[in-house]
Structure 1
Amino acid sequence: MAEENQFFRPIRDFCQRNVVTCAAADGVVDVVARMRERNISSVVVVGDGRPLGILTDRDLRNKVVAQGRDPNTLHVADIMNAPLAVIGEDDVLYEALYRMSRLKIHRLVVVTPGGELAGIITDTDILRLQAHSPHQLVLDIEKADSIDSLRLLHERIQKLVVHLSGTGIPIRDMVKLIANLNDQVLIRLIHLLRSTRFPDLTEDFAFVVMGSEGRSEQTLSTDQDNAIIYDDGLDPAQVARLEAFSHELIDALISIGVPPCSGGIMARNPAWRRSLGAWKQELNRWLSTPTPENVMTGSMFMDLRALYGRADLVEALRQHAFRHMSNDQGFLMRMAQNMTNFLPPLGWFGRIKVEKSGPYSGKVDVKKAGIFAITDGIKALAIEARKLDGSTHDRMEALVAGGALKEDAAADLRAAFDFLVLMRLRGHVDALRQGVEPSNYIALDQLNAMEQGEFRLALEGVAKFQAFIKHHFKLHLLRH
């Protein structure tokens, strides 16, 4: 257990601090001599104490030797890799692993919070730690050669999370782990389908995920919320192949063990597979007519994240929505109003109210109790500020930096959000251990006195945030 927890420790505990550096203006021959003398395969290029790029032995082979260039005439700036892939020294080790895997690189430069060079970490450093780990799971996912093998890997992800729960790993890191591993499975599945069944598939599309998956805030029972955006210039044959691909992809996801969306929000359905122009028209309809259904759908859609394909299509759609809502605040106000309708279940004297009867008697739905209000309230503020990238945590940090949210208020919200998500994940893990279907309900009598007190404080924080949202968006001006 302790060995696996190493992957959630900060990178500062593992990175190499003694980094050989050079300047961009240095001659390549001089730097190569330094690399040979130190027996190293890379040199970090710095300027004013900040890393600018990296020069590796692979660059020398591919950009100098293979091209027959004279190294005596070259400076480091001519062949270095830039911009540089970096990671913060306070980020967890698993994040470094995930970025290396996604970027298909073998090392990351580590920087301080101020952006100065702090060290370097390589995949070899991580491999030394352990074979049985999240790292091994990522490697196995990358090597998966069939849908059946991905199904087994999806089961291993759930078992790993169950195994790690209750070990003191921060909930934010646990949620990111789940999201990162699920991302890897889906990306690998797309590559498998493209190589075996759809080698002729167009490159001019994006497969996007939305909702909690779009925010990288998945827990174990999260179902599918995905869509496809494709270029307006595709011909009918290309569109038909995308349609066939979307059906096989979603069917394969379900067979792997990822639940289908009960509302049909999946790329195999025509309503969730459109050209960029058609998506803009659909967005205009949602944003111009903020009915309760359109508000719920539009809000979920604004979490869209390009998991595969052309990210520029996603950004074009997001900017279109921003422009629309800058001119018409109606949708944003209705979205904010909707989050205030989910009142925290607090009674007299701060007593937490539970379901009185039915299958969930004595339990509380933690998503409706507070998670939804926080995610959607922060989302509304982030849309207004055009700071919609990343998770709810990322958005809070961006809002604080931009002055839209006070630091003390954000700290209280972070604490409330993390506790509620922790309770939700614990409930999911308990359900899996008991062999029952996970839900968002938790039993109040299963919480100790300290946890019940923290639960009450979290719900009070949600109520305070809802009051802030009502005032900020002037919801009293809305006609009901």
Structure 2
Amino acid sequence: MTSGLESIEAILAASLPFTDLSADERRFCAGQIQIVYVSRRQQWFDMTAHEPALYLIATGAIELISQEQKLLARLEAQQSFGFQRLLTGQESSVRVKVIEDSLLYLIPQSVFDRLRQSSRQFDQFYNQQLSERVRVGERSQQKSAGLSARLSSLMSTPVITAEDQMSVQAVATLMSDNRISGMPVVDGGGEMVGIITDRDLRRRVVAEGRSLQTPLNQVMTRQVRTLPPQSARLEAQLLMTEWGVHHLPVVEDRKVVGMITSSDLLRQVHWDPAHFIKSINRSDSLEALRQQMDRLPKLIRNLDQPASGFTSRLITAVYDAVTRRLLILAQQQFGPAPLRWCWLSFGSQARREMGLNSDQDNGLVFEREPNGAEAEYFERLSTWVCDGLAVCGQRLCDGEIMASNSKWRLSLNQWQGQFANWLENPEPKAVMHCAIFFDMRPIEGELQLASQLHQQVVEQAKVSERFLALLAQQAASRQPPLGLFRRWVLDSDGQQHKGIDIKHRALAIVNDIARIYALSGGCEAIETELRLKAAMERGQLTRVDALNLADCLSLLRKLKYEHHCRQLAEGSDYTNLIEPKALSQLSRHQLKQALKVLAEAQDSVKFKFARQF
């Protein structure tokens, strides 16, 4: 008996996270273990046939398979599974496939709970494993979901390409023989240097009367929009719609690995976002726009297995299109603009993370200060557009941060002076404005005006240590809604509704942290995911910390989106207050873990940027 326990203890001592336990704890655990032998011939191991337990593989190997028959993990000796059920209280939908004769140690829930209480490292290990396992499962589902399907699963391969020295006649023959309307153009080394389409041949060869022997490099399109194969279908569709292209090369390491066409995308899902945006672009009145936008909430809710991050991008793309269309209609009504201008989006729209209840944050930048008549023109135009956005579902800003407010219709020099003042003389109000104005993206007009403004702001912010310190203090002052003993801290909306403020007490913290790293590192990215990635690449964040924050962002967006879909189904007003009891046990557990990550990230930001002030 003693020999048997000693062999079990030896395996525990070599297996994470049991290595972090004391010898006495491992001895206690070994005495409580039940040993189960499973044969490869039985193929599947049924966890539900046993009481809830942690399964440690002593010898052998198993695979974890999702409901969609996707491989989630392959586990071997000294690895464990079954902890999801112990941590959340929910039955796991994962199936266990036996790929080698295996000896399993079953550790009862009571022992597992005792070890978690006695060892912080043991507890952290399995909570991190749970987050990773759930994340892998979600990614597995998203790969086959309509809008989040990866381009690698949709693109046409192998790709027919043309060399840049070929004649247009040879290329036209190649396209005709293969029944394609466009192809990438590559150089002698196989790297893509352009694209040629039927439209290029009509416009640049036939219409201009060029010789059929004209080299391809004289008529091809050189500025080509591309995406990598791991990009989502939605990203391709939004890019193609925004730039009006019908062929999208899929590129990896500067080599074309696939091709996506608009026809490919149209065949994939029941609702086509590109078609919806095109209908917006064809709307000839505010009323027509309103009728289109009345359909948006239901269409969003009925998306096939939507991913929350992609849904936010989709909603943003729709409102970008609405804004552009309203600006066109406004100029048809009030006449052409008397000077160069650019419409700016701020806040969540700039970050491409709008929800169904997002309000407006926008402004105008001019090439120079307008005179009286010009100022009156833009007052009429911006008021009409902002009111039109409200009619189409994007609420007016309570703080009046809108182009309809003359405070936010400024020349480039005036905007530059305003930002310089905020950076050089940081006050609480200036720091508060940072959460809105420092996330800036052009929507329509002379985009170069916005680019000049943003570049200067990024350059100045990078060296404004006091401003960054106050920014860090503000980020740290937002308290995640988790109090003593991991109890929820609930907020009220003043109407007897209480819940977790998922926007201001959670999502805003991730955005604050990403913004600080972006501004301090001179990063021009606006989207929170890109800012976190850039911070990791610059060494400001470790890979683990960056991925943890990205996972937090994904989870929080998902919970917010699901909450709004429930409210939509109930016919109630949108709020950002989520009642904990409305969440599943697994979601509550994940949310607590995410809030813990945010609190640690806040401490890190405060230490790095605010300790000297």
The TM-score by the shorter chain falls in which range? over 0.9
Structure 1, gaps ≥5 residues long? none
User: Which of these residues, 59, 64, 73, is aligned with residue 205 of structure 2?
Assistant: 64
Partner of 2:281: 142
For the 8 Å contact 1:210–1:226, the answer to whether it is kept is: yes
Matched, 1:470 2:606: yes
Which is further off, 234-243 or 326-335? 234-243
Deviation, 1:330, is: 1.4
What is the identity, as a one-letter code, of the residue corresponding to 1:476? R
Report the alpha carbon displacement of residue 466 of structure 1 after superposing the two structures with TM: 0.3
Return closer, same or farther for 1:233/1:68 CA change in 2, 3 Å cut-off.
farther
Amino acid at match of 1:49: G
User: Is 1:159 the equivalent of 2:298?
Assistant: yes
**SS of match in other structure, 1:476:** coil
1:100-119 aligned at under 5 Å gives the runs: 100-112=240-252, 114-119=253-258
Partner of residue 442, structure 1: 578
CA gap 1:142/1:119 in 2 versus in 1, 3 angstroms: same
Alignment of 1:395 with 2:531, yes or no, is yes
Q: Are 2:182 and 2:196, in contact at CA under 8 Å, matched by a contact in 1?
A: yes
Asked whether 1:88 is paired with 2:224, we answer: no
Give, in angstroms, the shift of residue 393 of structure 1.
0.8
TM-score normalised per structure 2: 0.73
The one-letter code matched in structure 2 to 1:325 is A
Mapping of 1:406-421 within 5 angstroms?
A: 406-421=542-557
Give the percent of matched residue pairs that are identical in Structure 1 and Structure 2.
27
**Can you list the C-alpha shifts for 1:63-93, whole angstroms capped at 9, x where unaligned?**
1222222232x21111110121112222222
Aligned partners of 1:362 and 1:444 also within 8 Å: no
3-state SS of paired residue (2:402)? coil
How many residue pairs get aligned? The number is 470
Q: Distance in 2 between matches of 1:233 and 1:315?
A: 18
Alignment of 1:63-462 (within 5 A): 63-72=204-213, 74-112=214-252, 114-130=253-269, 132-164=271-303, 168-194=305-331, 196-202=332-338, 204-232=340-368, 236-355=372-491, 359=495, 362-462=498-598
Shift of 1:234: 5.3
1:279 Cα offset (Å): 0.8
Q: Deviations over 1:266-299 (max 9, x none)?
A: 0011001010011111112222221111111133
Task: Kindly state the Cα deviation for residue 420 of structure 1 after the two structures are TM-superposed.
Answer: 1.7
Larger radius of gyration: 2
2 CA distance for matches of 1:189 and 1:461?
Answer: 41
Shift of the 363–70 alpha-carbon distance from structure 1 to 2, 3 Å rule, reads same
Distance in 2 between residues matched to 1:218 and 1:26, nearest whole Å? 46
Instruction: Report which stretch shifted further, 211-220 or 7-16.
Output: 7-16
2:196 is matched with which residue: 31, 55, 72? Answer: 55
Q: Which has the higher strand share?
A: 2
Alignment CA distance shift 1:45-1:285 (3 Å)? same
Q: Cα offset for 1:412? A: 0.9
The 10-residue stretch of structure 1 (438-447 or 234-243) with the greater mean CA deviation from structure 2: 234-243
| C-alpha distance in 2 between matches for 1:67 and 1:198 | 37
1:169 corresponds to which letter in structure 2?
Answer: P
Cα distance, 1:477 vs structure 2: 2.2
Distance in structure 2 (CA, Å) of the matches to 1:203 and 1:424: 41
SS at match of 2:363: strand
TM-score normalized with structure 1 length: 0.92
Secondary structure of 2:147 counterpart: helix
User: Does structure 2 conserve the Cα–Cα contact (< 8 Å) formed by 1:344 and 1:370?
Assistant: yes
Give the partner amino acid of 1:51.
Answer: M
SS in 2 for 1:53: strand
Distance 1:293 1:67, change over 3 A: same
- Residue 427 of structure 1, CA deviation: 2.2
Measured in 1, the distance between the counterparts of 2:169 and 2:401 equals 57
* Secondary structure at 2:544 match in 1: helix
The one-character-per-residue Cα deviations of 1:156-207 (angstroms, maximum 9, x if unpaired) are 111112223xx6432211211211122222222222222x213422461110
Pairwise CA distance, 1:307? 0.8
* Separation in structure 1 between the aligned mates of residue 271 and residue 411 of structure 2, nearest angstrom: 43
Q: For structure 2, which runs of at least 5 residues remain unmatched after alignment?
A: 1-141
Q: Which whole-Å CA distance do the structure 2 matches of 1:132 and 1:361 have between them?
A: 35
Decide whether aligned partners of structure 1 residues 128 and 273 sit closer, same or farther in structure 2, where only a CA change above 3 A counts: same
Structure 2 distance, partners of 1:43, 1:450, is: 47
Partner Cα distance (1:52, 1:33) in 2? 20
Partners of 2:248 and 2:261 within 8 A in 1: yes
Partners of 2:326 and 2:276 lie apart in 1 by 15
Separation in 1, partners of 2:173, 2:346: 50
Q: 1:129 to 1:446 in 2, by over 3 A?
A: closer
Q: Any idea what SS the aligned residue of 1:88 has?
A: coil
Instruction: Indicate conservation of the 8 Å contact 1:354/1:361, yes or no.
Output: no
Closer/same/farther in 2, CA of residues 326 and 121 from structure 1, 3 Å limit: closer
RMSD: 2.2
How far apart, in 1, do the equivalents of 2:292 and 2:390 lie? 14
Task: Determine the C-alpha separation between the residues in 2 that align with 1:364 and 1:147.
Answer: 36
How far, CA to CA, are the matches of 1:190 and 1:253 in structure 2? 10
Q: Is the 8 A contact 2:146 2:305 kept in 1?
A: no
Tell me how far apart the structure 2 counterparts of residues 298 and 362 of structure 1 sit (CA, whole Å).
28
**1:326 Cα deviation (Å)?**
3.6
Between the aligned partners of 1:36 and 1:355, the Cα distance in structure 2 is: 64
Higher relative contact order, chain-length normalized (CA < 8 Å, sep 6+): 1
The worse-fitting range, judged by mean Cα deviation, of 235-244 and 208-217 is 235-244
1:6 lines up with 2:149 in the alignment? no
Distance 1:238 1:154 in 2: 31
2:182–2:247 contact (8 Å) kept in structure 1: no
